């Protein structure tokens, strides 16, 4: 009998196993919704699926009477713009800072403790400071995401640089590589897969900071819309928005994983 650690499901079985928890969750929701609505037809906590269809029609298809915009896509565009800009800035800081700290002992001594301290500060605790210093516009929202994500990426990438075999660095120096060539031609190419992994791991935190910033000071965005309708207990709006955020985050994670496998196949472990 094969050991469980050596038992790999087929592609079809893997897809079925992956879908099973989602199907159980959907079934539990449908059962709970039917039970609550049977007891109270006006219940708002677990709306019927038909309510979600009406919400998608009014938010994703029809234009808003006040603004003339399709709110679903307006919110999605605003949130994705903030998130992608913040992640791009964080990725640049992460690869540059991680390379410097991981490759240069002097930079490690100078900035290593500082970056570690920054990574320990709860980003939401400085949200009022950012709004006071930078205003309530886009800069403060993007800065919050960068502050919450970039230090973690820098630390992760620098740790990867420190894990590289010393033999590689010694051989490169023996062949006459300068510090610049050593950093850019030996260390840097091996950090790109780790950068993608770090971005994938911080996606959830980035979405959290985005929604928090939009909930406090924004006039459009997915987080803004959720907190706007929460006062009415509009679960028929909140739940579709939460599911949509999850799908967007999962798609971003899948694209990053695909990019890692496509551009850095040598880094794949399995």
pLDDT per position as a tens digit, 246-258: 999 999 999 999 9
Q: Are 182 and 173 in contact (CB under 8 A)?
A: yes
Domain spans of the chain, in order of start: 4-43, 60-267
* Burial annotation 58-71 (CB, 10 A radius, 16+ → b, else e): bbeeeeeeeeeebb
Q: How confident is the model at residue 269 (pLDDT cuts 50, 70, 90)?
A: low
SS (H, E, C) 43-64: CCCCCCHHHHHHHHHHHHHCCC
Q: Among residues of the chain, what percentage have pLDDT more than 70?
A: 99
Q: Determine the Cα–Cα distance for residues 139 and 131; give it in Å rounded to an integer.
A: 9
* CB contact at 8 A, 145 and 90: yes
Mean pLDDT of 150-178: 90
* Nearest alpha-carbon partner for 222 in 79, 17, 39, 36: 79
Instruction: Tell which residue, 54, 68, 60, has the closest CA to residue 235.
Output: 54
> What is the rounded distance in angstroms from the CA atom of residue 27 to the CA atom of residue 23?
6
**3-state DSSP assignment of residue 217:** coil
Q: Take residue 56 and report the two structure tokens written for it.
A: 């998608």
Q: Residues for the chain: how many in total?
A: 270
Give 79: exposed, middle or buried? Use CB within 10 Å, 0-12, 13-18, 19+: buried
The model scores a pTM over 0.85: yes
pLDDT value of residue 166: 86
Q: Is a pLDDT exceeding 60 seen at residue 270? A: no
- pLDDT per residue as tens digits for the range 188-202: 999 999 999 999 999
Helix axes 192-216, 71-103, angle to 10 degrees: 140
Asked whether residue 172 carries a pLDDT value surpassing 90, the answer given is: no
Under DSSP, the state recorded for 118 is H
Digit-coded pLDDT (tens) for 73-112: 999 999 999 999 999 999 999 999 999 999 898 999 999 9
Helix axes 235-263, 222-229, angle to 10 degrees: 160
To the question of domain 60-267 being in CATH 1.10.3720.10, the answer is yes
Confidence bin at 163 (pLDDT 50/70/90): confident
| DSSP structure class, residue 218 | -
Nearest to 242 by CA among 255, 254, 226, 227: 226
pLDDT of 136 = 84
Mean pLDDT of 48-67: 86
Read off the DSSP letter of residue 89: H
Q: Which burial class, exposed, middle or buried, applies to 242 when counting CB atoms under 10 A from its CB (0-12, 13-18, 19+)?
A: middle
Query: What is the mean pLDDT of the segment spanning 7-35?
Result: 89
The more confident residue out of 169 and 247 is: 247
- Residue 218, CB-side half-sphere exposure with 13 Å CA sphere: 26
């Amino acid at each position: 009998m094969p050991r469980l650690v050596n038992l790999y499901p087929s592609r079809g079985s893997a897809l079925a196993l992956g879908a099973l928890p989602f199907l159980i969750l959907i079934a539990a929701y449908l059962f709970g919704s039917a039970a609550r609505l049977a007891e109270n037809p006006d219940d708002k906590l677990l709306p019927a699926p038909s309510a979600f269809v009406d919400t998608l029609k009014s938010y994703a298809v029809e234009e808003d009477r006040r603004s003339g915009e399709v709110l679903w896509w307006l919110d999605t565009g605003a949130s994705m713009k903030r998130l992608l800009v913040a992640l791009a800035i964080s990725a640049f800081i992460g690869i540059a800072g991680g390379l410097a700290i991981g490759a240069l002992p002097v930079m490690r001594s100078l900035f290593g403790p500082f970056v570690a301290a920054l990574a320990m500060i709860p980003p939401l605790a400085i949200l009022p400071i950012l709004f006071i210093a930078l205003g309530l516009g886009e800069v403060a929202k993007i800065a919050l995401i960068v502050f919450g994500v970039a230090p973690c990426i820098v630390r992760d990438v620098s740790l990867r640089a420190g894990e590289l075999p010393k033999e590689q660095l010694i051989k490169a120096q023996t062949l006459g590589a300068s510090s610049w060539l050593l950093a850019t031609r030996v260390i840097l190419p091996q950090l790109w897969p780790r950068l993608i992994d770090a971005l994938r791991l911080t996606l959830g935190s980035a979405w959290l900071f985005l929604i928090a910033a939009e909930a406090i000071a924004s006039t459009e965005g997915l987080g803004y819309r959720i907190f706007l309708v929460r006062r009415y207990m509009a679960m028929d709006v909140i739940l579709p928005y939460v599911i949509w955020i999850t799908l967007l985050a999962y798609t971003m994670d899948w694209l990053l994983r695909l990019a890692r496998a496509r551009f850095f196949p040598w880094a794949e472990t399995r």
